[in-house]
Structure 1
Amino acid sequence: MKNVTPLRLFIAEDHKLLLQGYEQLLSAAEDLAIVATATNYYDIIHKLKIHTCDVLLLDLNMPLTYNNQHARLSGLDVLEFIKKVKLPIRPLITSTHRDYDIIKRAVAFGAKGYLFKSIDVDELLIAIRAVGSGRTYFQEEVGAILKSKQEDEGRLVGEGIKVSTREKEILMLLSQGLTGDEIASELSLSKYTVEEYRAILLKKFKAKNATHLVKIAHDHKFL
């Protein structure tokens, strides 16, 4: 049999039990070699600089520190870093996030695949091999979400700012004075997802805070 150079895999997952499960299941594949693992944002960035890898299996909910004080989707920051410095590694997302805008943003930042954590190991292996060979792989359910929501995207308005349907919903609720927890309950989202949307909106509108954001949104006819 012809020898095949194994795909070099970097696994980034903050739940240690799940990380150990990945290692145990994937180490049995002869065409894969796990060359690095990480459990938080800073560890990922450090190891990306010193390890040469083909595929990064990345959880979006990576903590910025070892404690629970930060709940950002810092996996998106990892993707942004990879894109900015043009690292030759292909990110494959594993996540519980099913929200269209989160998936779309991950893709925009360079994710070559996206899987929900409900998949089985056979599909995980298929996805890793596909991404590692230069193709993309999006779980069927992910593809369906992307396809069904594309028509719902907002149009370019105002100063060229694009606002998605979900972002506009959150803008409307912020304008009504709802807190993050109240918005999360209203839209059946986690409070951390709402916080991420709020951060995205502040950046898009170059706003200093939620009050400033709502004012700019009113001025440009988003509300």
Structure 2
Amino acid sequence: MSERQSIFIVDDHPLVREWLGNLINQQTDMTICGEAEAAPEALSKIEALKPDVVVVDIMLAAGSGLELLKDIRRVSPESISLVLSMHDELTYADRALRAGARGYVSKRDTTKKIVNAIREVSAGRVFVSPEVQAQITERYLGNRTSSSDISTLSDRELEVFRMLGQGSDTRQIADSLSISIKTVQVYCTRVREKLGLAGHHELMREAFRWWEQQAGKAEA
């Protein structure tokens, strides 16, 4: 029998790590080599272990999943990353691929599909839904929707916007992302400009509205 693929899990929910770990260890061609709940811890372990596949959630208790994908590519370029998340694929999958992931799968999908996604990316293929494939094609053809669309935000700007929508203040955002309060304020200004929002109150209102939509999609 061929050697098992080593899988590393990054997710801030212990139950998810336990469930996914048990699922993977039941397979004859893969095994768990480690896990972490936050980006800094994950990066140091991944650099040491050099796993074949890293399964990453976009939303982490500390650090950014998108930034972690970029860091994994830097410290362990041989490791392949797959995003497993509850959050809207159409919002995050393209960003995840550009950050270094080879696929994006939802926690709402069947266990069979999740395992298949791991196998697909470990074999060197990209795993995304047909809807995301169409979205990526549209982007490369230059058919963007609107200059005020969320897609115009950078990864870091989107992280700040998301955390505002979740109710975090500037200090909490700065601490979570390991940046200064002044830098957070700069990102807020850029988001307002890109989304055509008049001031801070309008930014907060739009962030709350957007996050409620995202949470609703995750629960659907």
Equivalents in 1 of 2:76, 2:89: separation in Å? 27
The residue aligned with 2:43 is: 45
Amino acid at match of 1:92: L
- Pair 1:171 & 2:169 matched: no
1:84 has 2:107 as partner: no
The 5 A counterparts of 1:105-184 are 105-147=95-137, 152-153=143-144, 165-166=149-150, 167=152, 171=193, 173=195, 175-179=197-201, 180-184=203-207
SS of aligned partner of 2:211: coil
Identity %: 24
TM-score, reference length from structure 1: 0.67
- Provide the residue aligned with 2:211 in structure 1: 189
| TM-score, normalised with respect to structure 2 | 0.68
Aligned residues: 175
- List alignment gaps of at least 5 residues for structure 2: 154-190, 216-220
**Cα distance in 1 between the residues matched to 2:198 and 2:89:** 23
Could you say what secondary structure the match of 1:37 adopts?
strand
- Residue 181 and residue 91 in structure 1: after superposition, are their counterparts in 2 closer, same or farther (change >3 A)? same
How far 1:114 moved relative to its partner? 0.4
Two-structure CA RMSD over aligned residues (Å): 3.0
Task: Give 1:87 deviation, angstroms.
Answer: 2.1
| One of 90, 94, 100 as aligned partner of 1:104 | 94
Indicate how the Cα distance of structure 1 residues 18 and 134 shifts in structure 2: closer, same or farther if over 3 A, else same: same
Q: Who is 1:33 aligned against?
A: 31
SS at match of 1:56: strand
Change (3 A) 1:142 1:119: farther
For structure 1, the 5+ residue unaligned runs are 65-71, 156-162, 194-223
Structure showing the higher helix proportion among its residues: 2
Identify which of structures 1 and 2 has the higher relative contact order when contacts are C-alpha pairs closer than 8 Å and 6+ apart: 2
Whichever of the two has the greater Rg, that structure is 1
1:95 to 2:85 alignment: yes
The separation in 2 between residues aligned to 1:4 and 1:28, in whole angstroms, is 16
Task: Give SS of 1:87's match.
Answer: coil
CA distance change for structure 1 residues 143 and 17 in 2, over 3 Å: closer, same or farther? same
Question: Structure 1 CA distance, aligned partners of 2:69 and 2:80?
Answer: 10
Q: 1:182 to 1:49 in 2, by over 3 A?
A: same
